[in-house]
Amino acid sequence: MMKPVFMTYTKKDLINLAVCMVLSVLVIPSFITTEYWYTSILIPWLCLALATIGQQIVMGYTGQLALGAAGFMAAGAFAMFNLILRVPDLGFVGSLIVSGLIAAAFGILFGLPSLKVRGIYLMVATLASQFFIIWMIDKFGWFKNYDSSGIITAQDIVILGKPFTTPLAMYFVCLAVTTVLTLLAMNMARGSTGRNWMAVRDMDIAAESMGVSLLRTKVQAFAISAFYCGVAGALFAFCYLKSLEPVAFDIKLSFKILFMCILGGLGTINGAFIGAAFILLFPVLLNAIGNNVFHGAIDATIISSIEQVIFGGLMIIFMIYEPLGMAKLWENIKQKWKTKIPSSTNLKSSLGKKT
Amino acid sequence: MTIERKFKIGKPILEVKNISLSFGGVKAITDTSFDVLKHEVRAIIGPNGAGKSSMLNCINGIYKPQQGTVSFKGKEIPNITPNLMAQMGLSRTFQNLALFKRMSVLDNILVGRKLHTKTNFLEVAFQLPKVKKEEKINRERSEEIISFLEIEDIKDTPVGKLPYGLQKKVELGRALATDSSVILLDEPMAGMNVEEKRDMCRFILKVNDELGTTMVLIEHDMGVVMDISDRVVVLDYGKVIGDGTPDEVRSNQKVIDAYLGVEH
């Protein structure tokens, strides 16, 4: 195992981070100029990856089957709208944090059933959060500032007096928030906090006998998860949808995030990004194939049905053959590559160890 | 044994008084009392279904007995929970292995350091200096235990992939990491071969000798128990049928009957 060099990050992590940063800050902005890529792929990818990290914390790390990520995203999004509207002094970043905290409060409330019920029953109980939050926003006009149209336009993003309204600027906002929160999540997952989560996941009674409080650990995981979802929801509404409507945060989105979590790999942070990318890009790829290979001979509705079929099939295949998802698959491929073609440095180090 | 013990056996640290436990109509334990002295190795033996594991689960707070009390460190504890007992300094292992399967050996043992971890999740998220300091202490202690148990070469392996004997060792390591004053071992040697059993005995005695940890163990294998424990309590059908030094227990007629059967 490698020793961390900074915080909990190993040398390899820092190199990976540097590569990602160069790619996303320098390479992507200079090579991709079409707005479509930012508004339809990169921005939603970052937002949903962030929400998936939230889902990972509660489901992948703490082992609590929860299905209400979109509800917490809605809470975050509408909290953001109201904070910017009613407490403009907070500023964008301040509002983002407070909306995350408001979502976290809902997370605590709906995480409480996890103390009594588990597994599929907990999943049903957490569904309540999904429907309750959406219902609450629809029912009380105050949340939508008594807008009758049903769809409210999101306010412009202004940070320190500077507007961030172009797709590229919004992409950078999402990138910055996602990067910071991802790094913090990695610290938690690798530190004592993450160990408590995983202990509760793997064997709760033993965790309790070691002094890990089930109440605190579960509720904490739900709160942190909801915080991540809340922030992701606010970004999703303000950078991607640019409007606020409760329908956008329906149960379908919760399922999408659940799929991202499972396909990406339960209990991994990088899996959140892989899973989100796959689920977002796959329909795009299918459409491209439909248009370019079959020249529109296949109906768009059929393509979207095929998409569902393939997702369902993949879920089953992954559940059976690789429950740890694409992140694990990627690790295995790397491992095989290394053992097949041992580079000179690898050979040297393995020889060095023996002597 | 003539060797002078570093930690002299002292006053009772754990007292079980008149415990009765039943599941519906099935009586698991009936009116059972015994005590455990500080720094001793105490064994609970008995045939299958005698209520040994149920007894440990009552002491540790997993089961709530219908009657009777458990006193620990001179205090009677009214509402026992596993968490509370852990905080008071009582740790345990489980009969059917309760390890954190997807975590590495080191991480499993680090969870045992939970009660020595005072930093909260925000401090961990930002990796404040005090988190690093605490983590360093906890890792050093865990590494010490790992080298004590001679399992250095597997410390990064997920425990789910380890053979049974090694998993039992890891579980002992996790209990040790808590630095508890009493450790309950539920069949630490079940399913082990002779060599592994001998190793486990050595570790149990070494822990008791070097750290003064009071060990309470459940075991099937009479021979092993008689060799390593200071005092033995024998349960049969949820009742105490013998209590005393290994020699006293060995010559107890009731115990012989329970183990060998009675002539009719």
Whether residue A316 contacts residue A259, with contact meaning beta carbons closer than 8 Å, is answered with no
> In the numeric block, which tokens belong to residue B39?
């720094």
Task: State how far the Cα of A215 lies from the Cα of A204, in Å rounded to an integer.
Answer: 11
Q: Convert the pLDDT of each residue in B116-143 to its tens digit.
A: 999 999 999 999 999 999 999 999 999 9
Asked if B111's CB is within 8 angstroms of A195's CB, the reply is yes
Interchain CB contact of B127 with A (< 8 Å): yes
Please identify among residues 159-198 of chain A the ones whose CB lies closer than 8 Å to any CB of chain B.
184-185, 187-188, 191-193, 195-196, 198
Report ipTM for this prediction: 0.92
Asked if B156's CB is within 8 angstroms of A187's CB, the reply is no
Q: Convert the pLDDT of each residue in A31-52 to its tens digit.
A: 888 888 899 999 999 999 999 9
Q: What is the DSSP string of B170-221?
A: HHHHHHHHTT-SEEEEESTTTT--HHHHHHHHHHHHHHHHHH--EEEEE-S-
Looking at beta carbons, which residues of chain B come within 8 Å of A1? 156
- Residue in chain A closest to B173 (alpha carbons) equals A210
Interchain CB contact of B101 with A (< 8 Å): yes
- Residue in chain B closest to A188 (alpha carbons) equals B125
Task: State how far the Cα of B53 lies from the Cα of B237, in Å rounded to an integer.
Answer: 12
Task: State how far the Cα of B206 lies from the Cα of B203, in Å rounded to an integer.
Answer: 5
Task: State how far the Cα of B173 lies from the Cα of B178, in Å rounded to an integer.
Answer: 9
Residue A99 belongs to what H/E stretch? helix A91-111
Min Cα distance B257 → chain A (Å) is 36
CA dihedral A113, A115, A116, A120 (to 10 degrees): 70
Q: What domains, with CATH codes, occur in chain B?
A: 1-89+180-264 (3.40.50.300), 101-179 (no CATH)
Q: 3-state DSSP: chain B helix, strand, coil percent, rounded to 5?
A: 40, 25, 35
Looking at beta carbons, which residues of chain B come within 8 Å of A187? 124-127
Interchain CB contact of B142 with A (< 8 Å): no
Return the closest-CA partner of residue A63 out of B101, B111, B96, B113: B101
**Rounded percentage of chain A residues whose pLDDT exceeds 70:** 95
- Residue in chain B closest to A195 (alpha carbons) equals B111
Interchain CB contact of A224 with B (< 8 Å): yes
Given this structure, which CATH class describes domain A32-341? mainly alpha
What is the reported pLDDT for B219?
A: 86
pLDDT above 70: residue B211: yes
Q: Convert the pLDDT of each residue in A228-280 to its tens digit.
A: 999 999 999 999 999 999 999 999 999 999 999 999 999 999 999 999 999 99
Asked if B82's CB is within 8 angstroms of A209's CB, the reply is yes
Taking the alpha carbons at both ends of chain B, their separation in whole angstroms is: 39
